[in-house]
Amino acid sequence: MRFNRYRKQAAACLATLTLLLTGPGCSFGMTGGSATIVPLNAASLQNENSAVTTNAASAPSVFGSVQTETTDSSSLFGPGRLTMLANHDTAAQMLSVIIETGQGGLIVVDGGWRENSQYLLEQLKAKGGHVQAWLLTHPDTDHVGALAEILYQHSGEITIDGVYYSFLDDAWYQQKDAQVASMVSYLKGALAKLPAETLHGDITAGQIIEAGPAKIQVLNQAYQMKNDFVNNSSVAYLVSLNGTNVVFLGDLAQSGGEQLLNDVDLRSLGCDIVQMSHHGQTGVGYEVYKALRPRICLWPTPQWLWDNDNGGGAGSGSWRTLETRNWMVRLGIEAYYCTKDGDQVIE
pLDDT number for residue 64 = 63
Q: Where are the domains of the chain?
A: 3-45+59-346
Q: What is the DSSP string of 170-217?
A: HHHHHHH-HHHHHHHHHHHHHHTTS-GGGEETT--TT-EEEETTEEEE
pLDDT number for residue 206 = 95
pLDDT number for residue 34 = 44
Distance CA 186, CA 332 (A): 42
pLDDT number for residue 58 = 55
Distance CA 312, CA 55 (A): 41
pLDDT number for residue 137 = 99
Could you give the C-alpha distances from 254 to 26, 107, 283, in angstroms and in order? Answer: 26, 27, 6
Distance CA 168, CA 175 (A): 12
pLDDT number for residue 263 = 96
pLDDT number for residue 103 = 97
pLDDT number for residue 256 = 98
Residue numbers of the chain with a pLDDT score lower than 50: 1-57
Could you give the C-alpha distances from 291 to 46, 48, 87, 269, in angstroms and in order? Answer: 19, 15, 30, 9
Distance CA 156, CA 280 (A): 35
Residue 242 CB coordination number (10 Å)? 20
- At 30-49, the pLDDT tens digits run 333 444 444 433 333 333 33
pLDDT number for residue 213 = 96
Task: Tell me which residue of 63, 64, 107 sits closest to 211, measured CA to CA.
Answer: 107
Q: For the structural domain made of 3-45+59-346, what CATH number should be given?
A: 3.60.15.10
